Structure 1
Amino acid sequence: MDLTCFKAYDIRGELGAELNVDIAYRIGRAFATFLQPKKVVVGWDVRETSPELKDAFAQGVLDFGADVIDLGMCGTEEVYFGTTFLAAEGGCMVTASHNPINYNGMKMVRDNAKPISADTGLADIRAMAESGNYGEKAETPGTLTQLDNRAAYVEHLMTYLDVANLKPMKLVVNAGNGAAGPSLDAIESALLALGAPIEFIKIHHAPDATFPNGIPNPLLHEQQPVTGKVVKDHGADLGIAWDGDFDRCFLWDEDGNFIEGYYIVGLLAEAFLAKQPGAKIVYDPRLVWNTVEIVEAAGGVPIQSVSGHTFIKERMRKEDAVYGGEMSAHHYFRDFAYADSGMIPWLLIIDLLSRKQTTLKTLVEDRMAKFPSPGEINSKVADADEAMSRVYQAYKPDAIGEDRTDGLSLEFAQWRFNLRKSNTEPVIRLNVETRGDKDLMDEKTQDLLALIRQ
């Protein structure tokens, strides 16, 4: 059996052809055989097949002889939190996040929510699942426990802000019919119980496996105006939307403008450094100038890492960094087991807006003008390596800096770009930024795209 659903960092596959209950059971048995756990936490998103895939995975763990704690429908970060809080040796979230409706997958971690990637065990789990070479069933199977752990999770979230000093705010929250709705309700109840003057305007709030408003992926340009319009219509202070398993969050300012994740990284870095001077901040190489300038000005230590959650988390643990951020809207926190969360960022932002008595637009507009960027642009190409070489040969002679941490980064006096290949498809991802020159940004972006797509 060739299990093509195994990717570099997680499991993702088309239902029926690449992922079904038999495969999920095999993965569960292999996962437990590899980790040798006593206790495993599982959770699942809103997709129709998620409960049955979760049950099959859990049965594989039970047949190994380990106990399983089922958190029910939740977000990926609730599995991360539960694995740590409940002192389990492993965790698995059944989710396909923002993938099409005919897909599903799994995100697996070991103790303390440490990621499992191809280099740290996923390849071994795949080999066992493919061969079925995971030994006999245990004489005494493990026990299955249903547990609602959300109250402990929300209690932890409340530690990231000063509720007593929150200013009155109106927030548009768009769960995208994904898993975020019930967790948002619990957070809202906790905030109101603590006297927070926060009003939630909820859209696409109820979990719905048919995704009537489209797959929850706020990066899609056709989805971004939806949240922005509601912000403007209600005179809200902030718009927030999540992907299907809410491990990423996306923000809109009070005018309904979508804010690229790059600029949020700088805001959160500054917020942490205000409380922990000298702390280390990890960032990815795609867009860097804004983050580095903010961190250094605040007395912090900026540390560049390869993009991707496993690399960011490993680097953060190694450096004991307080925060890590990617322009893709993944945000990582030392006090959250170095894991990513889609709820902590917006809580930190409303705390920041209250402390500074300002708006999100005011906080980011100067930074966006100082280091403008069009955001990440994808291009399908016939030969990614050849396209990368073509760009390198054209721009290398004039570059004053070159970096290969992740893909190709070339730096010039007034602008820079990063070019990365996709791991899974013939696609090249381009990011460009300049020093305060939007016309130059537009010019260089178009020149690069023409060369890439030649």
Structure 2
Amino acid sequence: MSGHRFEPTILREYDIRGIVGKTLSGADAQALGQAFGSYVIEQSGKAAPRIAVGYDGRLSSPDLEAALVDGIMSTGAQVTRVGLGPTPMLYYATASEGLEAGIMITGSHNPPDYNGFKMMLLGGPVYGAMIQEIGKIAAEGRFKKGVGSSISVDLMDRYVSRMIEGFRGGPLTVVWDAGNGAAGDAMIRMTRRLPGRHILLNEVIDGTFPAHHPDPTEEKNLVQLKAAVAEHQADLGIAFDGDGDRIGLIDGQGRVLWGDQILALLARPVLADLPGATIIADVKASQVLFDEIARLGGTPLMGATGHSLIKKQMKQTGAPLAGEMSGHIFFADRYYGFDDALYAAVRVLETVSWAGKSLAALRDELPTRQNTPELRFPCADTRKFAVVTEVKERLAAAGANVSTVDGVRVTTPDGWWLLRASNTQDVLVARCEAADEAGLDRLKAALLDALAPSGVTPPQF
């Protein structure tokens, strides 16, 4: 049986992603459909499993979707095509329809010429060794054969209704920026049904992203949103990434709230309802967040970075809420446990109303720390994990206070510094946080000292 080999670089830790016309093609999409459908049949034990397929607003997405569906149907699987929309709508489809699996065609927050596939199976994410196995099935041509079927289902209104079900917030003035990404249509429909005044930016889905790059974790992409918040004297501004699973947030004073700050505020009403509950954040989050969760009576848990890993840990611990610095927010409280930036936005509005204070006032209540941004610096794929291991061994020999949940996070009297290997790029990631600038300088120096013996070009602070 003839197989198909993917360009190795597109088989990543959490998804399959490449550059259309260079490392990713329609033939890849069809082969992925064959391999994924076959994998789902094997894992589910069903000869004709039901698989949801959705796609984002990139120009290449419709053609990739058609090829993918052809491949899936050739295995005998039944395809539920949910059409154009945000990635969380695809997750919603699998959960609400009780489907065995789902696959989303999306380039997420990458440039317009990128595209890829995010997958889920039996209620959980497909990642790591599972993605490698799907690649192996394709390479070996171990495809199931059958006559599948497809139906098209419009879930958009049901998805929006589910997000605002039981909304507990009051009227606010909010500026929304979809960044011309796949969240645009859902954002339009949702804001029509929320109380208050809503100003929409870049709500028309356009895969060329003419306004700005759709990544709300980079402050340069929030300039338009900040200006609109000021112009309309809005209470806050909300931005989404290209496929609607990551959120950006601006307060009424135009200040960015980063992922850990958003999570700290969202934890307040959750822990008021669920005292003692576990709240999970990744290792890049501020110590302020973990201290705040403990102060509120919750159980803080530091987890590894990666949305697939966070989802798995939520299921294991029963945590009602989790988040990452990258803007992925996961609600199992009153929701499904997947990362949905539109639903997170709804909960932000509820939190502001619940607190009876402005978002700016809530932000000011959080302790301040001096920290670096997330520093990403080159390191070969063949070396990055080895470098972290070398640093870990030297720190252990020196008796340092180290957490090894994901890389190394070193705590000192000044604060903490982090070094980890990216699972998706040939880079190392570092971050430092201290109570003051002098302490931050000492942490930076300690990080550089720890790296030096491994011969790595250090990050530029």
On whether the aligned pair clears a TM of 0.5, the verdict is yes
Unaligned runs of 5+ in 2: 42-47, 453-457
Aligned residue number for residue 335 of structure 2: 336
Letter in 1 for 2:208: T
Following the alignment from structure 2 to structure 1, what is the Cα–Cα distance between the partners of residues 427 and 162?
39
C-alpha contact (below 8 Å) 2:30/2:70 kept by paired residues: yes
Residue 3 of structure 1 pairs with residue 7 of structure 2: yes
Aligned residue number for residue 286 of structure 1: 284
Give the alignment partner of residue 128 of structure 2, picking from 118, 122, 128: 118
Q: Could you give the per-residue CA deviations for residues 141-195 of structure 1, whole angstroms, max 9, x where no partner exists?
A: 22221111122212221136314xx1x311111111111110011111222xxxx
TM superposition score normalised by structure 1: 0.90
Residue 146 of structure 1 pairs with residue 152 of structure 2: yes
Following the alignment from structure 2 to structure 1, what is the Cα–Cα distance between the partners of residues 433 and 308?
26
Aligned residue number for residue 325 of structure 1: 323
Shift of 1:34: 0.9
Following the alignment from structure 1 to structure 2, what is the Cα–Cα distance between the partners of residues 282 and 252?
23
Give the alignment partner of residue 180 of structure 2, picking from 177, 181, 203: 177
Q: Structure 1 389/405 Cα, relative in aligned 2: closer, same or farther at 3 Å?
A: closer
TM superposition score normalised by structure 2: 0.89
Aligned length: 439
Q: Structure 1 326/182 Cα, relative in aligned 2: closer, same or farther at 3 Å?
A: same
Letter in 2 for 1:429: V
Aligned residue number for residue 42 of structure 1: 53
Q: Structure 1 67/453 Cα, relative in aligned 2: closer, same or farther at 3 Å?
A: closer
Q: Structure 1 430/148 Cα, relative in aligned 2: closer, same or farther at 3 Å?
A: same
C-alpha contact (below 8 Å) 1:87/1:111 kept by paired residues: no
Aligned residue number for residue 198 of structure 2: 200
Q: Structure 1 224/445 Cα, relative in aligned 2: closer, same or farther at 3 Å?
A: farther
Q: Structure 1 412/362 Cα, relative in aligned 2: closer, same or farther at 3 Å?
A: same
Shift of 1:108: 0.6
Quote the sequence identity (%). Answer: 30
Following the alignment from structure 2 to structure 1, what is the Cα–Cα distance between the partners of residues 386 and 50?
48
Write the mapping of 1:294-373 to structure 2, written as runs, cut at 5 A. 294-334=292-332, 335-369=334-368, 371-373=369-371
Letter in 1 for 2:142: N
Q: Could you give the per-residue CA deviations for residues 47-72 of structure 1, whole angstroms, max 9, x where no partner exists?
A: 01101111111111111112111111
Shift of 1:439: 4.6
More divergent stretch after superposition (10-19 vs 418-427): 418-427
Q: Structure 1 173/311 Cα, relative in aligned 2: closer, same or farther at 3 Å?
A: same
Unaligned runs of 5+ in 1: none
Q: Structure 1 80/97 Cα, relative in aligned 2: closer, same or farther at 3 Å?
A: same
Following the alignment from structure 1 to structure 2, what is the Cα–Cα distance between the partners of residues 122 and 346?
31
Q: What is the SS of the residue equivalent to 2:18?
A: strand
Q: What is the SS of the residue equivalent to 2:430?
A: strand
Letter in 1 for 2:138: A
Following the alignment from structure 1 to structure 2, what is the Cα–Cα distance between the partners of residues 160 and 432?
40
C-alpha contact (below 8 Å) 1:81/1:336 kept by paired residues: no
Q: Could you give the per-residue CA deviations for residues 378-430 of structure 1, whole angstroms, max 9, x where no partner exists?
A: 22357646865786699778875111110111001231111112234332211
Q: Could you give the per-residue CA deviations for residues 233-280 of structure 1, whole angstroms, max 9, x where no partner exists?
A: 221111111110010001011011111111111111222111111211
C-alpha contact (below 8 Å) 1:3/1:130 kept by paired residues: no
Residue 402 of structure 1 pairs with residue 424 of structure 2: no
Write the mapping of 1:46-445 to structure 2, written as runs, cut at 5 A. 46-112=57-123, 114-119=124-129, 121-135=130-144, 137-138=145-146, 141-159=147-165, 161-163=167-169, 166=170, 168-191=171-194, 196=195, 198-334=196-332, 335-369=334-368, 371-381=369-379, 384=384, 388=388, 401-434=401-434, 436-441=435-440, 444-445=443-444
Following the alignment from structure 1 to structure 2, what is the Cα–Cα distance between the partners of residues 399 and 414?
16
CA RMSD after TM alignment: 2.3
Q: What is the SS of the residue equivalent to 1:433?
A: strand
Shift of 1:288: 4.3
